[in-house]
Chains A and B, each alone.
Chain A
């Protein structure tokens, strides 16, 4: 009789993993909200989890409402008893209302995780199928938590550090809380400094200017080009559409020395104009590639109809192709904007003059021992917020843009 083929083993395992995990995460969240030392009660959570895991495999009523209410309450009660009335150690013992709310939150998250993981698994002997389904549910849940955490932690640290001051940063690096009780001008001190002392408004405007110009030039060049490659017959067409992709694989780092040399001698180097030439040249191939794919999908009968009605090809592009491919053009524009906004190498190599710095270039100049770390992080937030905002706002467009074109890194 194989021990691991017993459903109840899965219940134990699910409880032993989820309960301490949520205990840890909720406690960290509690600590972020208040300035107290960590005091984790992992042992009681572990025991509670194992018992509740077994419970989830044994007790399977038809009514989900009753099931979850009973489970959550039982979990809270068990955790309370196992920790001798102090589920968060000495933390929150002075505030019963908050303790009960936190206890309910922990119990809800833990029990829902456990019961969803256990799912239809029964306590007795089960087939390999159910065991594997159980493990894949367990991995699914853990993976989801894992990915959300690893993605968000660096961003959280970025925002957190930008809202701190030098002393509190060095005093206790583990203090992950944001102290909202201080005056706003003190809390946002780094941001105020950035805009007053380092003139970040100019940098923001420079970045916005370069990115928008890049988007316009890219579209102006790539729409006609993509139309030609997609719809017109000419000798080198096949060759051209495959060489676009190859050009796209050429990295900026091997172009930078010649461009630096030539732009220096032409006096184009230390200027936003220079960037407005280089950026479109690096984005046009990908934009052309993405738009070509979309234009090829448009039926050429439409073009023929237009030709029959006496439109010129230019008019066809303007009046038929562009209006039909607004979503594709939008995703190309957003993608190009993102590339230009985030670009670092050329901005770093080309710009010497503080007045024409883009955000990337400006942030790099803040990376020195004289500038406090929280200013650097505040600058990082300033650079990140617009692009993330645009991304979340237009996520659908951008995601399709990313998948159709971004083989680039």
Chain B
């Protein structure tokens, strides 16, 4: 029986729109899949493999030909020697074979059992099948021939020998182990690294947020030259990290840096402080001895300096959207400037502060370049991200590096879930 409901099947236009959307999005989708999503899963894969940086160079077999005997003498017995070697220290090669064309005017008298003779287009071709070659293994194959006319070396070596072989690609093979995880978790420094990461992330994020709030509060007031100063305040964020990181290093250099010279001149310090190379310094404050992590504090300060402009920009945008008649009303009611900030501005920006905190927290957690350029992860500043580089490229253990990257990803997943859960709907 026919009812009045509209049909559930989709119309032509809807179908066409769907197909078009697919076409418009598929290039992006494929690229992001290949460069972002695939590596993400590849990380898991690599982290379960005992693989080092050197393994990326594919193993191959080298074959060299040598001829012994007097080539110019007719009737002379010549020895052709093929030496082969597996270049890999770790991986066997299988189905190794090579072939070589013998020049005209030689007669074979004895050949190696692993070789066969074929005649291909009137040329004598030797085909040798070596089977499996163990790692580092080397060996030789010898042919005895008699020359029937004077020969030259070049006649033997052309064309060059191109061996054929099959190697198991270390990236795609199926041997797995958990040794990387065992290694990174059992290392005593791992929890040290985790602690450093949390300090860096927390203080870096909070510091940048507070400084950004302060800057926004200042820039909210209209004054001549505000636009220019707003531009200048964004410099740290806009300039290349490499340039600003190195200028900090130069500024705080223990030998030629202005800050150290200034501190000695003013009598604050007796000898130069190696700001980016010193792990701890004892500071006496009101009679208490405080052990201050110098290098870590410096990278946190750098992080705060470089990213406060971002918080500043967001907070300022939010503050400027607060209707000005609210402030006028508060003024009429006699609210003091601090009361206006506390009861009027702050409730309006608390949402954006929360979002900024979470996002900046994630991004500071992920930060690699800054610390790497400032300290190289030394002097107690090694965070998880620097540890990825350290394991994979400094110690050349790709697998362990990938395992650390997986740990980072797990944290990231946790943060993202928190982010989605706690983001107010209107602020994202």
**Which residues of chain A have a CB within 8 Å of any CB of chain B?**
128-129, 132-133, 135-136, 140, 143-144, 147-148, 150-155, 157-158, 161, 169-170, 172-174, 176, 221-222, 224-225, 227-229, 232-235, 237, 240, 245-247, 249-262, 264-265, 277-278, 280-282, 284-285, 288, 313, 338, 341-342, 344-345, 349, 359-360, 363-364, 367, 373, 376-377, 380-381, 383-384, 387-388, 391-392, 395, 398-399, 402-403, 406-409
Size category of the binding interface on chain B: 35 or more
Contact between chains at B260 and A228 (CB < 8 Å): no
- B residues near A252, Cβ cutoff 8 Å: 368
How long is the Cα–Cα vector from A144 to B232 in the complex, in angstroms? 11
**Which residues of chain B have a CB within 8 Å of any CB of chain A?**
14, 17-18, 20-22, 24-25, 27-28, 31-32, 34-40, 42-43, 46, 56, 58, 169, 171, 214-215, 217-218, 221, 227, 229-244, 246-248, 250-251, 253, 255-258, 260-262, 265, 305, 307, 310, 313-314, 317, 334, 336-339, 359-360, 362-364, 366-369, 373, 385, 388-389, 392-393, 398, 401-402, 405-406, 408-409, 412, 416, 428
- B244 → chain A, closest Cβ, in Å? 6
New A-B pairs, 14, CB < 8 Å, besides A143-B215, A363-B246: A148-B233, A158-B243, A158-B247, A172-B261, A173-B257, A233-B17, A234-B21, A257-B46, A260-B56, A383-B242, A387-B238, A387-B239, A402-B313, A407-B363
**What are 29 A-B pairs with beta-carbon distances under 8 A?**
A143-B217, A148-B233, A152-B232, A157-B258, A158-B243, A173-B258, A176-B258, A221-B31, A225-B25, A228-B20, A229-B25, A233-B17, A234-B22, A249-B359, A249-B366, A250-B412, A251-B363, A251-B366, A257-B43, A257-B405, A280-B31, A281-B32, A281-B35, A284-B28, A344-B241, A383-B240, A384-B239, A402-B237, A402-B310
How long is the Cα–Cα vector from A338 to B260 in the complex, in angstroms? 33
Closest A residue, CB atoms, query B359:
A407
Contact between chains at B367 and A265 (CB < 8 Å): no
How long is the Cα–Cα vector from A154 to B17 in the complex, in angstroms? 53
Contact between chains at A258 and B240 (CB < 8 Å): no
Interface majority SS (helix, strand, loop, mixed), chain B: helix
Contact between chains at A132 and B256 (CB < 8 Å): no
Contact between chains at B235 and A257 (CB < 8 Å): no
Q: Out of A151, A342, A402, which one reaches B233, CB within 8 Å?
A: A151
Contact between chains at B58 and A253 (CB < 8 Å): no
How long is the Cα–Cα vector from A281 to B217 in the complex, in angstroms? 37
How long is the Cα–Cα vector from A89 to B255 in the complex, in angstroms? 29
- B residues near A409, Cβ cutoff 8 Å: 307, 310, 360, 363-364, 366-367
- B103 → chain A, closest Cβ, in Å? 35
A253-B368, A281-B31, A409-B360 are contacts. A161–B338 as well, Cβ < 8 Å?
no
A280-B31, A281-B34 are contacts. A257–B392 as well, Cβ < 8 Å?
yes
Q: Out of A257, A342, A403, which one reaches B241, CB within 8 Å?
A: A342
Contact between chains at A282 and B24 (CB < 8 Å): no
- A97 → chain B, closest Cβ, in Å? 28
Contact between chains at B256 and A129 (CB < 8 Å): no
- A239 → chain B, closest Cβ, in Å? 12
Q: Out of A278, A363, A388, which one reaches B35, CB within 8 Å?
A: A278
How long is the Cα–Cα vector from A359 to B256 in the complex, in angstroms? 25
Contact between chains at B218 and A258 (CB < 8 Å): no
- A residues near B250, Cβ cutoff 8 Å: 157-158, 161, 373, 376-377
Contact between chains at B246 and A380 (CB < 8 Å): yes
- B250 → chain A, closest Cβ, in Å? 6
Q: Out of B56, B237, B338, B363, which one reaches A132, CB within 8 Å?
A: B338
How long is the Cα–Cα vector from A396 to B13 in the complex, in angstroms? 40
A228-B24, A258-B39 are contacts. A381–B243 as well, Cβ < 8 Å?
yes
Contact between chains at B247 and A154 (CB < 8 Å): yes
How long is the Cα–Cα vector from A338 to B229 in the complex, in angstroms? 20
- B residues near A360, Cβ cutoff 8 Å: 240, 242
- B297 → chain A, closest Cβ, in Å? 16
Closest B residue, CB atoms, query A366:
B246
- B residues near A147, Cβ cutoff 8 Å: 215, 218, 233
- B365 → chain A, closest Cβ, in Å? 8
Contact between chains at A258 and B337 (CB < 8 Å): no
Q: Out of A170, A235, A280, A377, which one reaches B255, CB within 8 Å?
A: A170
How long is the Cα–Cα vector from A95 to B364 in the complex, in angstroms? 52
- A296 → chain B, closest Cβ, in Å? 14
- A residues near B307, Cβ cutoff 8 Å: 409
- B residues near A399, Cβ cutoff 8 Å: 230, 234, 313
A265-B171, A392-B231, A409-B307 are contacts. A174–B246 as well, Cβ < 8 Å?
no
Contact between chains at A250 and B40 (CB < 8 Å): yes
Q: Out of B14, B56, B251, B262, which one reaches A174, CB within 8 Å?
A: B262
Closest B residue, CB atoms, query A155:
B235
A233-B17, A383-B242 are contacts. A170–B25 as well, Cβ < 8 Å?
no
A129-B334, A233-B14, A247-B32 are contacts. A391–B317 as well, Cβ < 8 Å?
no
How long is the Cα–Cα vector from A173 to B265 in the complex, in angstroms? 11
Q: Out of A151, A254, A349, which one reaches B235, CB within 8 Å?
A: A151
How long is the Cα–Cα vector from A133 to B38 in the complex, in angstroms? 57
Contact between chains at A154 and B363 (CB < 8 Å): no
- B residues near A341, Cβ cutoff 8 Å: 240
How long is the Cα–Cα vector from A222 to B363 in the complex, in angstroms? 23
Q: Out of B46, B231, B234, B255, which one reaches A258, CB within 8 Å?
A: B46
How long is the Cα–Cα vector from A364 to B369 in the complex, in angstroms? 11
A247-B36, A409-B360 are contacts. A364–B256 as well, Cβ < 8 Å?
no
How long is the Cα–Cα vector from A235 to B18 in the complex, in angstroms? 8
How long is the Cα–Cα vector from A253 to B235 in the complex, in angstroms? 25
Contact between chains at A313 and B20 (CB < 8 Å): yes
